[in-house]
A and B are shown apart, each in its own frame.
Chain A
Amino acid sequence: MRRIIGNTLRYFLLTAIAALMVGPFLWMVATSLMDPQDIFHFPPRWIPDRFDLRNYGAIMDVLPLGTLLLNSFAIAVSATIGQLLSCTLAAYAFARMEFHGKNALYFILLATMMIPAQVTMIPTFLIMRAVGLIDTLYALIVPAFFGGAFGTFLLRQFFTSIPRELDDAARMDGCGRFRILWSIYLPLSRPALVTLGLFSFMTYWNDLLGPVIYLSSTEHATLTMGLASLQSGTMVTRYDLLMAGSVLSVLPILVLLIVGQQWFVKGVATTGLKG
Chain B
Amino acid sequence: MKNPSRLFRALEPWLYLLPTLTGLALFSAGAVVTSFLISFTTWDMITPPELVWAGNYLSLWRSDLFWEVVLNTLYFILLAVPLSVSCSLALALVANTGLRGITFFRTAYFLPVVSSMIAVALVWSWIFNPEYGLLNYLLEEVFGVKGPAWLHSTTWAMPAMVIVTVWKGLGYSMIIFLAGLQNIPQDLYHAATMDGAGAWKRFRHITLPMLSPTTFFVLVITLINAFQVFEQTYVLTRGGPANSTLTMSYYIYQNAFQYFQMGRAAALSYVLFAVIFVVTLVQFRIQKRWVFYA
Contact = CB atoms under 8 A, between A and B. Distances in A.
A246 interface: yes
Given A86-B23, A146-B26, A272-B218, A249 B118 contact: yes
B293 interface: no
A270 B114 CA distance: 17
Contact of A97 (B16, B21, B30, B132): B16
Contact of B126 (A109, A126, A239): A239
A119 B132 contact: no
Identify whether the interface residues of A are mostly helix, strand, loop, or mixed: helix
Interface in A186-237: 202, 205-206, 208-209, 212-213, 224, 227-228, 231-232, 237
Contacts of A137: none
Interface string A259-271: 0010011001101
A112 interface: yes
Interface string B3-24: 0100000101110110111111
A271 B173 CA distance: 11
Contact of A208 (B102, B107, B118, B131): B118
Contact of B97 (A10, A116, A243, A268): A10
Contacts of B286: none
A146 B20 contact: yes
Interface string A78-116: 000000011101101100011100100100110010111
Interface stretch (B31-39, B67-75, B142-150, B201-209): B31-39
A120 interface: yes
A140 B235 CA distance: 21
Given A90-B20, A122-B256, A206 B110 contact: no
B32 A119 contact: yes
A21 B175 contact: no
B49 to A, nearest CB: 11
Interface stretch (A23-31, A47-55, A57-65, A160-168): A23-31
Given A27-B123, A261-B110, A97 B12 contact: yes
B270 A119 contact: yes
A24 B27 contact: no
Contacts, number: 273
Interface stretch (B58-66, B152-160, B164-172): B164-172
A39 to B, nearest CB: 7
B257 interface: yes
Contact of B4 (A89, A121, A145, A176): A176
Contacts of A253: 114-116
A124 interface: yes
B192 interface: no
B81 interface: no
Identify whether the interface residues of B are mostly helix, strand, loop, or mixed: helix
Contacts of A44: 132-134, 137
Interface string B254-294: 00110000100110111011001100100000000000000
B108 interface: yes
A92 B30 CA distance: 25
Nearest to A209: B230
Nearest to B230: A209
A21 B132 contact: no
Nearest to B10: A99
A70 interface: no
A273 interface: yes
B141 interface: yes
Contacts of A66: none
Contacts of B234: 208-209, 212, 228
B108 A272 contact: no
A14 interface: yes
Nearest to B126: A239
B52 interface: no
Contacts of B214: 272-273
B112 interface: yes
Contacts of A232: 238
B269 A122 contact: yes
Contacts of B131: 40, 42
Contacts of A13: 94
Most buried by A among B178, B179, B180, B266: B179
A34 B10 CA distance: 65
A119 B31 contact: yes
Most buried by B among A174, A205, A261: A261
B249 A118 contact: yes
9 contacts: A10-B99, A17-B105, A21-B109, A108-B24, A116-B276, A206-B118, A227-B118, A249-B116, A272-B177
Given A14-B95, A261-B110, 18 more contacts: A21-B170, A22-B111, A42-B131, A42-B137, A44-B133, A93-B13, A118-B273, A119-B31, A119-B32, A119-B35, A147-B19, A206-B115, A239-B129, A242-B126, A257-B114, A264-B110, A265-B106, A268-B179
